[in-house]
Amino acid sequence: MLAGARERRVRTGGIELCVAELGDPQLPTVVLVHGYPDSKEVWSAVASRLAERFHVVLYDVRGHGGSTAPRPLRGGFTLEKLTDDFLAVVDAVSPGRPVHLVGHDWGSVQAWEFVTVRRTEGRIASFTSMSGPSLDHFGHWIKQRVKRPTPRRVGQLLGQAAKSWYVYLLHTPVLPELAWRGPLSKHWPRVLELMEKVPGGTYPTSSLSADAAHGAWLYRDNVRRRLRRPRPDAYAHAPVQLITPLGDAFLSQRLYDELEQWAPQLTRRTLPARHWIPRSRPDQLAAWIEEFVTANEGGRPVIEATGRHGDRFGGQLVLVTGAGSGIGRATAFAFAEAGARVIAVDRDAEGAARTAEMARLVGAPQAWAETVDVSDEQAMEKLAEKVATEYGVVDVLVNNAGIGLSGRFLDTTPEDWRKVLDVNLWGVIHGCRLFGRQMAERGQGGHIVNTASAAAYQPSRALPAYSTSKAAVLMLSECLRAELAGQGIGVTAICPGFVNTNITSTARFAGVDAAEERRRQKRSARLYGLRNYPPEKVADAILQAVVRNEAVVPVTPEARGAYLLSRFMPGALRRIARVEPRL
């Protein structure tokens, strides 16, 4: 039983359903429906988070957990009977008010039935679906690809057929039951831990073998029947939020390509995760469910992100250092346009505040400004503690703050080296160490972006200190990527190039007097201005790198060219480095 839950029994169709409730019954009711081969405990982490704001209801599907199984099993798990069960539960827990429905896997499959049949109209206020399509929609999807085959459609059909291997096995008589009541249930927790990154603990429950054996009839009673004769009127009569895990081993993203025709009020979300997201990503699911339920209760509407990756970053927490100007500000705006919550960090308080203000205007549901010098270890520790306490664990960290320094090695003082390394390298180290540790301890993945430079792999007699700091950032990123990959945390090194930002006008020049330094700053700023590569393109590259989980991303054409030379013709770059730059 879930900790702190109130349990009751609901009788329907000759069986008893085990129902658990959390939270205040006077609040809006959220009903969570589990999939195969789970029981309601799969939702425990999500339910505990939602219970602070809602009346949360979970029930064991017939034949699972604490609910009794129909006799005989054959014909006892049809979608029609599952709909009877759902109505019996909501009549018991929320008799005078519609509920907000959430389903995962087979919980989502049956919930699509609930939200598309006429007898449930008025009983469902919203539906959040994850990892489980409507069998009717799936049937039409197959028929369209069979009737009008193209290479692309045939590829989609074959791809999903390969992912559905387990469906064929579950239709075989007796064998699935023998496997689950034998060795499979014993090893299932380890399989989930290795393949799905699902933490152990109290899940799966001791009823797993019986749950899985009974649940095989969900497939046998429904799949072939519905795929052969899908209903033509399976339209959703409530708003739908679709959450798609991008790494789902069982369901193709293409299954949902035409979903808008069946669910006119559709909100799409994506997660870089595998199938069992109620266990692996409970924080993000709870946040999205809360936002969607609140919107459909007449509260703050779901903000439609205008950016390209709104389905990926909507509602996520993103922290950007050096956000007061240049690439950092452009990156904060790009994440804001994608619907992310943004923390703009800069040592310039006014610049950070302006970025946060503008981020809210361009689409961030929330944005905050924090004034911190990233080279200050204690200040960064206080920032990390404050962020975790007041805003939550960061989903995406962009270590972007940096300073420029030009000048020959023999003209560069130890103090010059300390300043450059403190900001460009130690600032990145502090961010990765503090916020990366929070991501790892949360155990729900994340992404770290470190702004390096094309100078990281392109030697220059004019930039020894700057290039060294950025080369260290590049190698740090590669090492971290290897270390954190097993925890679902991606790490990317962004290597821009000649980008038109104010770093050129503020960069220091070693070995010259103040007047000559000002002259060189103006000349560098003018040259970068003539190149005029905007920081917004770097920001776009950062978002795309996070979506694709790329390791090293040279951005500008010259950065990409130098990267190729560094890999295949490093001698050419060394010869170029000997040329005396004209400043």
Tell me the C-alpha distance between 64 and 84, whole Å.
16
Short-list 201, 191, 173, CA closest to 74: 173
Helices within 318-426 (DSSP H only): 326-337, 349-362, 377-390, 414-420
Percent of the chain with pLDDT over 90: 75
Residue of higher predicted confidence among 515 and 133: 133
Q: What's the pLDDT score for residue 501?
A: 65
Residue 80, φ and ψ in degrees, nearest 5: -65, -45
CATH number at residue 219: 3.40.50.1820
Three-class secondary structure of residue 415 per DSSP: helix
Answer whether residue 174 is part of any domain.
Answer: yes
Answer whether residue 508 is part of any domain.
Answer: yes
Catalytic annotation, pick one of 466, 528, 533, 563: 466
Give the pLDDT band of residue 348 (cuts 50, 70, 90): very high
What is the number of structural domains in the chain? 2
Based on the fold, state whether residues 267 and 324 are members of the same structural domain.
no
Residue 22 tokens, joined: 């959390």
Based on the fold, state whether residues 466 and 541 are members of the same structural domain.
yes
Tell me the C-alpha distance between 565 and 425, whole Å.
25
pLDDT in tens, 549-562: 999 999 998 999 99
Answer whether residue 581 is part of any domain.
Answer: no
Tell me the C-alpha distance between 21 and 29, whole Å.
10
Three-class secondary structure of residue 47 per DSSP: helix
Q: Is 544 a residue whose pLDDT tops 80? A: yes
Three-state SS string over 85-152 comes to HHHHHHHHHCCCCCEEEEEECHHHHHHHHHHHCHHHCCCEEEEEEECCCCHHHHHHHHHHHHHCCCHH
Based on the fold, state whether residues 384 and 527 are members of the same structural domain.
yes
**Residue 257 and residue 283 in contact, taking contact as beta carbons nearer than 8 Å:** no
| Dihedral sign for Cα atoms in the order 516, 522, 523, 524 | positive
Q: Is 303 a residue whose pLDDT tops 70? A: no
Based on the fold, state whether residues 269 and 348 are members of the same structural domain.
no
Short-list 503, 449, 496, 458, CA closest to 476: 449
Based on the fold, state whether residues 344 and 445 are members of the same structural domain.
yes
Give the pLDDT band of residue 572 (cuts 50, 70, 90): confident
Q: Which domain holds residue 68?
A: 6-296
Q: What is the DSSP string of 287-346?
A: HHHHHHHHHHTTSSPPP---STTHHHHTT-EEEEESTTSHHHHHHHHHHHHTT-EEEEEE
Answer whether residue 583 is part of any domain.
Answer: no
Tell me the C-alpha distance between 430 and 439, whole Å.
14
Reply yes or no on whether 36 is catalytic. Answer: no
CATH number at residue 520: 3.40.50.720
Q: Is 507 a residue whose pLDDT tops 70? A: no
Residue 396 DSSP class: E
Helix (H) / strand (E) element for 271: namely strand 266-271
Residue 525 tokens, joined: 């700023």
Per-residue pLDDT, averaged over 305-334, amounts to 90
Tell me the C-alpha distance between 221 and 201, whole Å.
32
Answer whether residue 97 is part of any domain.
Answer: yes
Based on the fold, state whether residues 203 and 241 are members of the same structural domain.
yes
pLDDT in tens, 414-442: 999 999 999 999 999 999 999 999 999 99
Based on the fold, state whether residues 351 and 286 are members of the same structural domain.
no
Based on the fold, state whether residues 323 and 368 are members of the same structural domain.
yes
CA angle 316, 317, 320 (to 5 degrees): 130
Residue bearing tokens 């007898």: 119
Answer whether residue 63 is part of any domain.
Answer: yes
Per-residue pLDDT, averaged over 248-252, amounts to 94
What mean pLDDT value characterizes the chain? 91
Based on the fold, state whether residues 53 and 99 are members of the same structural domain.
yes
Answer whether residue 400 is part of any domain.
Answer: yes
pLDDT in tens, 156-203: 999 999 999 999 999 999 999 999 988 898 888 888 888 887 876 556
Residue 444, φ and ψ in degrees, nearest 5: -125, 25
Residue of higher predicted confidence among 487 and 492: 492
Tell me the C-alpha distance between 315 and 358, whole Å.
17
Q: Which of 296, 320, 341 is the last residue of a domain?
A: 296
Q: Which of 269, 296, 323 is the last residue of a domain?
A: 296
Based on the fold, state whether residues 152 and 177 are members of the same structural domain.
yes
Q: Is 502 a residue whose pLDDT tops 90? A: no
Based on the fold, state whether residues 408 and 514 are members of the same structural domain.
yes
Strand order in the sheet with 489-495: 367-371, 341-346, 317-321, 396-399, 446-451, 489-495, 552-554
pLDDT in tens, 105-115: 999 999 999 99
Q: Which of 296, 319, 347 is the last residue of a domain?
A: 296
Q: What is the DSSP string of 429-448?
A: HHHHHHHHHHHHHHTS-EEE
Answer whether residue 242 is part of any domain.
Answer: yes
Q: Is 513 a residue whose pLDDT tops 80? A: no
Based on the fold, state whether residues 20 and 125 are members of the same structural domain.
yes
Residue 396 tokens, joined: 């995406």
